[in-house]
Amino acid sequence: MHTNNKLILGDYCLLDIHRGMLIKNGIASSFSKSETLILQCLAKRIGQPTSKMELIDYVWGKTNHPTERLLYQIIHRIRTKLEANVHEPKYLIAVRGFGYMLSCPYVQEIS
Protein backbone atom coordinates (compact mmCIF):
# COMPACT_ATOMS: atom_id res chain seq x y z
CA MET A 1 0.00 0.00 0.00
CA HIS A 2 1.32 3.42 -0.90
CA THR A 3 1.19 5.99 1.83
CA ASN A 4 2.66 9.03 0.11
CA ASN A 5 0.37 11.19 -1.93
CA LYS A 6 2.83 12.29 -4.61
CA LEU A 7 3.91 9.89 -7.32
CA ILE A 8 6.42 10.42 -10.09
CA LEU A 9 4.91 8.45 -12.94
CA GLY A 10 7.55 9.18 -15.53
CA ASP A 11 9.72 11.90 -16.96
CA TYR A 12 8.16 15.28 -16.24
CA CYS A 13 4.98 13.77 -14.75
CA LEU A 14 4.09 14.26 -11.07
CA LEU A 15 0.76 13.13 -9.68
CA ASP A 16 -0.26 14.72 -6.36
CA ILE A 17 -3.16 12.51 -5.31
CA HIS A 18 -3.92 14.33 -2.06
CA ARG A 19 -4.35 17.69 -3.79
CA GLY A 20 -5.91 16.25 -6.95
CA MET A 21 -3.21 17.81 -9.13
CA LEU A 22 -1.12 16.67 -12.06
CA ILE A 23 2.00 18.43 -13.21
CA LYS A 24 2.94 17.18 -16.65
CA ASN A 25 5.65 18.80 -18.73
CA GLY A 26 5.58 21.78 -16.37
CA ILE A 27 1.84 22.36 -16.81
CA ALA A 28 -0.47 21.91 -13.82
CA SER A 29 -4.00 20.60 -14.16
CA SER A 30 -6.49 19.68 -11.50
CA PHE A 31 -8.80 16.72 -11.03
CA SER A 32 -12.41 16.92 -9.91
CA LYS A 33 -13.39 15.43 -6.56
CA SER A 34 -14.60 12.17 -8.12
CA GLU A 35 -11.49 11.93 -10.32
CA THR A 36 -9.28 12.45 -7.27
CA LEU A 37 -11.14 9.79 -5.28
CA ILE A 38 -10.75 7.28 -8.11
CA LEU A 39 -7.02 7.98 -8.27
CA GLN A 40 -6.73 7.66 -4.49
CA CYS A 41 -8.43 4.27 -4.59
CA LEU A 42 -6.25 3.03 -7.46
CA ALA A 43 -3.05 4.34 -5.85
CA LYS A 44 -3.59 2.10 -2.82
CA ARG A 45 -2.61 -0.87 -5.01
CA ILE A 46 -0.43 0.35 -7.85
CA GLY A 47 0.01 -2.40 -10.42
CA GLN A 48 -2.92 -4.41 -9.09
CA PRO A 49 -6.45 -4.30 -10.49
CA THR A 50 -9.31 -2.69 -8.60
CA SER A 51 -12.86 -3.76 -9.42
CA LYS A 52 -15.38 -1.34 -10.87
CA MET A 53 -17.64 -1.98 -7.88
CA GLU A 54 -14.86 -1.16 -5.41
CA LEU A 55 -14.20 2.12 -7.25
CA ILE A 56 -17.90 2.97 -7.25
CA ASP A 57 -18.21 2.18 -3.52
CA TYR A 58 -15.10 4.25 -2.74
CA VAL A 59 -16.30 7.31 -4.65
CA TRP A 60 -20.07 7.27 -4.11
CA GLY A 61 -20.55 4.96 -1.12
CA LYS A 62 -22.44 1.72 -0.88
CA THR A 63 -25.91 3.26 -0.90
CA ASN A 64 -25.63 5.60 -3.88
CA HIS A 65 -24.54 3.74 -7.00
CA PRO A 66 -24.20 5.52 -10.33
CA THR A 67 -24.06 3.60 -13.58
CA GLU A 68 -20.85 2.01 -14.82
CA ARG A 69 -21.15 4.43 -17.73
CA LEU A 70 -20.51 7.35 -15.37
CA LEU A 71 -17.43 5.57 -14.02
CA TYR A 72 -16.20 5.05 -17.59
CA GLN A 73 -16.73 8.74 -18.39
CA ILE A 74 -14.73 9.82 -15.34
CA ILE A 75 -11.95 7.36 -16.19
CA HIS A 76 -11.86 8.87 -19.68
CA ARG A 77 -11.56 12.39 -18.22
CA ILE A 78 -8.66 11.26 -16.03
CA ARG A 79 -6.95 9.69 -19.04
CA THR A 80 -7.27 12.89 -21.09
CA LYS A 81 -5.23 14.65 -18.40
CA LEU A 82 -2.82 11.83 -17.54
CA GLU A 83 -2.09 9.99 -20.77
CA ALA A 84 -0.23 11.10 -23.89
CA ASN A 85 -2.65 8.98 -25.95
CA VAL A 86 -6.00 8.07 -24.37
CA HIS A 87 -6.44 5.22 -26.88
CA GLU A 88 -3.17 3.60 -25.77
CA PRO A 89 -2.99 4.31 -22.02
CA LYS A 90 0.23 3.63 -20.13
CA TYR A 91 -0.87 4.57 -16.61
CA LEU A 92 -4.62 4.05 -16.19
CA ILE A 93 -5.24 0.58 -17.59
CA ALA A 94 -8.56 -1.18 -18.08
CA VAL A 95 -8.66 -4.78 -16.86
CA ARG A 96 -11.24 -6.33 -19.15
CA GLY A 97 -14.33 -7.58 -17.37
CA PHE A 98 -13.06 -6.48 -13.97
CA GLY A 99 -12.01 -2.87 -13.47
CA TYR A 100 -8.94 -0.66 -13.68
CA MET A 101 -5.42 -0.33 -12.34
CA LEU A 102 -2.85 2.39 -12.01
CA SER A 103 0.22 1.00 -13.74
CA CYS A 104 3.59 2.66 -14.01
CA PRO A 105 6.86 1.45 -15.54
CA TYR A 106 8.49 2.84 -12.41
CA VAL A 107 6.97 4.67 -9.50
CA GLN A 108 8.82 6.90 -7.12
CA GLU A 109 6.95 8.24 -4.14
CA ILE A 110 7.94 11.62 -2.74
CA SER A 111 6.71 13.50 0.27
pLDDT for 68: 86
Task: Establish if 69 belongs to a structural domain.
Answer: yes
pLDDT-derived band at 49, boundaries 50, 70, 90: very high
pLDDT band at 4 (very low <50, low <70, confident <90, very high): low
> Does residue 16 sit within a domain?
no
Question: Quick one: pLDDT at residue 2?
Answer: 46
Q: Does the structure show a pLDDT above 80 at 27?
A: yes
Identify whether 10 is part of a domain.
no
Q: Does residue 62 or residue 54 have the better pLDDT?
A: 54
Query: What CATH number did the domain enclosing 86 receive?
Result: 1.10.10.10
Buried b (16+ CB within 10 A) or exposed e, 24-39: beeeeeebeebbbbbb
Domain that holds residue 71: 32-105
How many domains is the chain partitioned into structurally?
1
| pLDDT value of residue 110 | 56
**Strand pairing partners for 44?**
none
